[in-house]
């Protein structure tokens, strides 16, 4: 234990000065040596997550000896035996995960103190200089050892005031990601309302004479946290700082991207990192248009079959039409074909679609994609229920041609996914999901040129959990987004729209936008791009929340 370093650390806090440090997860003790050489106030060696063994941890402790850098070990759990081991090899203190009550915290303090105040055994390891300094070390350890509880659960909220009364605690550290997960926002650093909740707890802790810490996510965030009053800010984790530096270098040579969870470079769902501004060549020339079902024009296609067009030539969309088609009970649409691809997604009821005589029965959220010129027909087989469909076509002014030819009928199996080289059927229950597009959102790709070679558009289904959202982004083609269930907020360059009940946003090429579910229930959407692949350019959040100045309306 480095008593003078601990006294210096506490003196800085007493002067309300920030003590800055590093979270260490890599096995090389050179990382801690660098932190010490650069004069960091503290390092935390993470023994909860990752792969560090005690031999690795021991080398990190050795690298911080005889320095002014306080070395703490984050244990895997509150444990008397693990605490003894960490302190015996020379750590200046411990970080205890998942502290939720004052009694748990008192137990952690007892683990760190020698009797009679605690239950730490006296070992002949580095802390006592291998038994040569029993008297000196045991005399000063209880008063100087540092115990840092991690607040990373909403279960701790009602108990924080009492936890602040526990003797021997100088700093409380927050884990925003776990805190968010326990609030129902798994995968988000600070889910809806979590940032505000942490700030409230920070104020409560500071009013009790204690201090707070957490890891910063960027240089700007580090400065923001210090301004907010966090006095034990972490510059980051070693791996995070390394990746951040690599991203900056890759960005300089236009090769930056976010890896997929699988770490497989062939995974098509890897994320692009945000650009500071939209690319110059993607300046928009039109505004977004929101169309509700009440605002849409209704057209009868055949007796009992109507379409309400939501996106198309009428609202300046290019190479794209979407709408809601309604089939009355027993209504049917005669065999026809289009000079473009068509997507049909069932919203309510069941529909029977026949393609060149191949019959498919589709239920809610099932989808069928029909390439150009393939003859097809549809009917509502139910005599009492109305069927609603979402349709998309890769033309802004659709054309259709009736087909008089008779086809031999073949009823396809209920789990059929279509015919290779022709139609594609997406069975919603068994369709592959992807989760890396945005926090709290799952996506099902229905069609694109990789799934349906030669198709001119791309699209699919998305479900957003409460708080789920997309990053701010734009496309090099027009897009239709139809909110089929729940409520969504759509933000387009500072303009906010509330959508529900199949209200549809036509977002033109080059307009920065994103969607977020601010409600307490799930939200579903069907999205269609007027481009063969779901390519997007992710930009800084401010590009979607601030009014964009351009010449688009001139």
| pLDDT of the residue at 552 | 40
Specify the fold of 3-251: TIM Barrel (3.20.20)
Q: Is 147:75 a contact under the CB 8 Å cutoff?
A: no
Per the structure block, which two tokens stand in for 418?
Answer: 């279509």
Distance between CA 395 and CA 323 in Å, rounded? Answer: 12
Element (H, E) at 492: strand 487-492
Distance between CA 201 and CA 153 in Å, rounded? Answer: 12
- What length does the chain have? 554
User: Is beta strand 211-215 parallel, antiparallel or unpaired with respect to 171-174?
Assistant: parallel
DSSP readout, 52-110?
Answer: --HHHHHHHHHHTTTSS-EEEEE-SS--HHHHHHHHHTT-SEEEES---SHHHHHHHHH
Nearest to 539 by CA among 490, 474, 468: 474
Q: How many CA atoms lie within 13 A of 153 on its CB side?
A: 11
Residues 6 or more apart from 216 whose CB is under 8 A from it? 222, 225, 233, 234, 235, 236
User: Residue ranges of the domains in the chain?
Assistant: 3-251, 293-429, 441-545
Distance between CA 380 and CA 343 in Å, rounded? Answer: 17
pLDDT in tens, the chain (554 residues): 999 999 999 999 999 999 999 999 999 999 999 999 999 999 999 999 989 999 999 999 999 999 999 999 999 999 999 999 999 999 999 999 999 999 999 999 999 999 999 999 999 999 999 999 999 999 999 999 999 999 999 999 999 999 999 999 999 999 999 998 888 777 778 877 889 999 999 999 999 999 999 999 989 899 999 999 999 999 999 999 999 899 888 877 867 766 766 655 554 444 455 788 899 899 999 999 999 999 999 999 999 999 999 999 999 999 999 999 999 999 999 999 999 999 999 999 999 999 999 999 999 999 999 999 999 999 999 999 999 999 999 999 999 999 999 999 999 999 999 998 899 999 999 998 887 677 788 999 999 999 999 999 999 999 999 888 888 999 999 999 999 999 999 999 999 999 999 999 999 999 999 999 999 899 999 999 999 999 888 888 889 888 765 544 33
Q: Which CATH number fits domain 441-545: 3.40.50.11540, 3.30.465.10, 3.40.50.970, 2.60.120.10?
A: 2.60.120.10
| pLDDT of the residue at 140 | 96
| pLDDT of the residue at 231 | 98
User: Is beta strand 441-447 parallel, antiparallel or unpaired with respect to 458-464?
Assistant: antiparallel
Within 10 Å of residue 96's Cβ, how many Cβ atoms?
27
Please indicate whether the domains covering 293-429 and 441-545 agree at the CATH topology level.
yes
How would you label 449-476 residue by residue, b for 16+ Cβ within 10 Å and e otherwise?
eeebeebbbbbbbbbbbbbbbbbbbbbe
In the numeric block, the tokens 């996914």 are attached to 417
3-state secondary structure 335-349: EEECCCCEEEEEEEC
The CATH number given to 293-429 is: 2.60.120.10
In the numeric block, the tokens 């049917």 are attached to 332
């Amino acid at each position: 234990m480095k008593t003078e370093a601990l006294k210096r650390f506490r003196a800085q806090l007493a002067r309300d000065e920030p003590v800055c440090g590093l979270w260490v997860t890599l096995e090389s003790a050179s990382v801690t040596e660098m932190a010490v050489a650069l004069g960091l106030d503290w390092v935390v060696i993470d023994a909860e997550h990752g792969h560090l063994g005690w031999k690795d941890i021991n080398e990190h402790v050795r690298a911080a000896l005889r320095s002014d850098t306080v070395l703490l070990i984050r244990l895997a759990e509150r444990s008397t035996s693990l605490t003894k081991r960490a302190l015996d090899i020379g750590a200046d203190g411990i970080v205890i995960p998942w502290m939720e009550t004052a009694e748990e915290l008192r137990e952690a303090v007892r683990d760190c103190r020698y009797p009679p105040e605690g239950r730490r055994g006296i070992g002949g390891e580095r802390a006592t200089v291998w038994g040569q300094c029993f008297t000196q070390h045991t005399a000063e350890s209880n008063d100087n050892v540092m115990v840092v509880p991690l607040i990373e659960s909403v279960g701790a909220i009602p108990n924080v005031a009492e936890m602040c009364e526990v003797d021997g605690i100088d700093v409380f550290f927050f884990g925003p990601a776990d805190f968010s997960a326990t609030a129902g926002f798994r995968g988000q650093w600070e889910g809806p309302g979590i940032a505000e909740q942490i700030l409230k707890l920070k104020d409560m802790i500071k009013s009790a004479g204690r201090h707070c810490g957490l890891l910063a996510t960027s240089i700007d965030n580090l400065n923001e946290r210090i301004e907010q009053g966090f006095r034990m800010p972490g510059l980051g984790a070693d791996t995070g700082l390394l990746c951040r530096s690599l991203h900056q270098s890759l960005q300089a040579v236009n090769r930056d991207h976010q890896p997929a969870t699988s770490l497989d470079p062939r995974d098509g769902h890897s994320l692009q990192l945000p650009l500071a501004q939209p690319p110059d060549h993607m300046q928009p020339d039109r505004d977004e248009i929101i169309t509700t079902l009440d605002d849409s024009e209704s057209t009868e296609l055949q007796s009992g079959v109507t379409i309400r067009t939501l996106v198309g030539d009428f609202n300046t969309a290019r190479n794209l039409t979407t709408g809601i088609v309604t089939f009355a009970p027993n209504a049917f649409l005669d065999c026809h074909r289009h000079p473009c691809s068509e997507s049909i997604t069932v919203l309510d009821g069941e529909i029977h679609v026949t393609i060149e005589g191949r019959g498919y029965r589709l239920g809610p959220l099932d989808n069928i994609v029909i390439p150009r010129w393939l003859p097809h027909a549809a009917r509502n087989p139910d005599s009492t229920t109305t069927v609603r469909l979402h349709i998309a076509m890769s033309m802004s002014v659709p054309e259709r041609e009736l087909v008089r030819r008779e086809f031999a009928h073949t009823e396809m199996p209920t789990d059929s996914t279509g015919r290779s080289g022709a139609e594609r059927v997406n069975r919603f229950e068994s369709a592959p999901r992807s989760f890396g597009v945005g926090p709290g959102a799952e996506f099902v790709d229905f069609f694109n040129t990789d799934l349906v070679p030669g198709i001119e558009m791309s699209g699919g289904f998305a479900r957003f959990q409460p708080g789920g959202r997309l990053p701010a982004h734009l496309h090099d083609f027009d897009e239709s987004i139809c909110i089929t269930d729940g409520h969504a907020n759509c933000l387009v360059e500072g303009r906010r729209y509330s959508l529900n009940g199949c209200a549809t946003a036509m977002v033109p090429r080059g307009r920065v936008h994103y969607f977020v579910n601010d409600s307490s229930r799930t939200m579903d959407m069907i999205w269609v791009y007027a481009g063969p692949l779901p390519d997007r350019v992710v930009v800084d959040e401010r590009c979607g929340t601030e009014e964009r100045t351009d010449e688009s309306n001139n």
